[in-house]
Amino acid sequence: MFNRKDLLGLRDLSENEIMTILETAKIMKEKIDNPLKRSDELKSASVVTLFYENSTRTKMSFMLAGDYLGAIVKDLGVSTSSVNKGESLIDTGLNLDQMGINVMIIRHSMTGAPHILAKNVNASVVNAGDGINEHPTQALLDLFTILDYKKRFKGLNVTILGDISHSRVARSNVFGLTKLGAKVTLAGPSTLVSNSMKSLGVDVVTNIPKAVSNADVVMGLRIQFERQKAMPFPSLREYSSLFGVNNDILKYAKDDVLVMHPGPVNRGIEFSTEVIDGKHSVINIQVKNGVAVRMAILKLLTERGN
């Protein structure tokens, strides 16, 4: 069952709602590979992407997800819009509402921006990443990928490595994975992984071999230099040698470990190139699954109440 107006984060979703999205995404995935199966079931829906921050994968996959289902999809180029003339987020949303938009996909550098937009517009709002808070569609595609390979969540050891404190991807994954019964370990230098995350029901570790030991899934995150106030470690050289994962470190994990990354990847920093391109990596498959999950979300939100 999925009956919400908005998708703002995994924090508020039930296990049931998450599974509904993942099951719908499975059906959607067939439409990506087989153009004959693409449909016009959302032809009565209009979708706008409203990205206040840069994006390659998320924006493109949302736009394609809409296209594959026959929706009208528009991008509001924020940098060329009236936002630059000082129009507020709420006013921008109210205007789009009047134009008949059904779904607004928003990415914003500030935590809670999608929530305030959702409160003020009639359209459905999808959070495509807000500040350091959540990136629910990324976590859902990660969950979809994990389920696809591992067939379960209960009892899985999932290790997330890197710039946890600035990562909305990590936070959404933590909310989702813990709800579904996986055991989550967060790892990285103490300046990037705060012990306060323990209150969310996860382990926090600074020793990387220990963190990777016995893992079913190892997820790497990019260091978000754009969100750092001061450099949290002395050099990239030191970081990659102490906190990066190469094939030697990966040996600590289970033999059938999945290597995942939300992208963009900084090769040679969080993961070595051998790990990124190696047999355990599903990094590219995640991207395809991302389109499927976003198709599912658009479908569920627009068909709500129908």
Partner 1 sequence: MNILIKNGRVIDPVNNIDKICDVLVNGEKIVRVEENISESAEKIIDADGLWVVPGLIDLHVHLRDPGFEKKETIRTGSRSAAMGGFTTICCMPNTKPVIDNEIIVEYVNMKANRDSVVNILPIGSITKGQKGEELADIGKMADVGICAVSEDGRSVENAYLMKTALKYASMFNLPVFSHCEDLNLVAKGQINAGDKASVLGLRGISNDSEEVIVSRDIILADSVNARLHLCHMSTKGCVELIRQAKERGIYVTAEVTPHHFTLTEDDICDYDSNYKMNPPLRTKEDVKALKQALKDNIIEVISTDHAPHHTDDKNCEFEKAANGIIGLETSVCLAISELVETEVLTPCQLIEKMSCNPAKILNLDKGTLSLGSTADITIIDPKQEYIINTEKFLSKARNTPFNGRKVKGKVLYTIIGGNVIVENGNLREEFK
- Where does this chain bind partner 1 (CB under 8 A)? 11, 88-90, 108, 110-113, 115-116, 130-134, 168, 171, 194, 196-197, 199-200, 229
Minimal distance in Å, beta carbon 181 to partner 1? 20
CB of 129 to partner 1, least distance (A): 11
The size of the chain, in residues, is 306
DSSP 8-state class, residue 286:
H
Q: Which is nearer to partner 1, 130 or 216 (CB)?
A: 130
**Token pair of 141 as six digits:** 């595609």
DSSP 127-152: EEEETTTB-HHHHHHHHHHHHHHHS-
Q: Compare residues 134 and 216 and give the one whose CB is closer to partner 1.
A: 134
Identity of the residue, 200 or 285, whose beta carbon is nearer to partner 1 in the bound complex: 200
Q: Give, as one character, the DSSP assignment of residue 81.
A: S
Minimum CB–partner distance for residue 196 and partner 1 (Å)? 5
CB of 199 to partner 1, least distance (A): 5
**For partner 1, which is the closer residue by CB, 60 or 200?**
200
Bridge-based pairing state of the strands 72-76 and 46-51: parallel
The contacts found for 269-272 with CB under 8 angstroms, 24 or more apart, are 269/222, 269/223, 269/236, 269/239, 269/240, 269/244, 270/161, 270/162, 270/220, 270/221, 270/222, 270/223, 270/240, 270/243, 270/244, 270/245, 271/220, 271/244, 271/245, 271/246, 272/244, 272/245, 272/246, 272/247
Nearer to partner 1, 122 or 247 (CB): 122
Cα–Cα distance, 152 to 136 (Å, whole number): 19
Beta bridge pairs of residue 279: none
Complex with partner 1: residue 128 or 265, whichever CB lies closer: 128
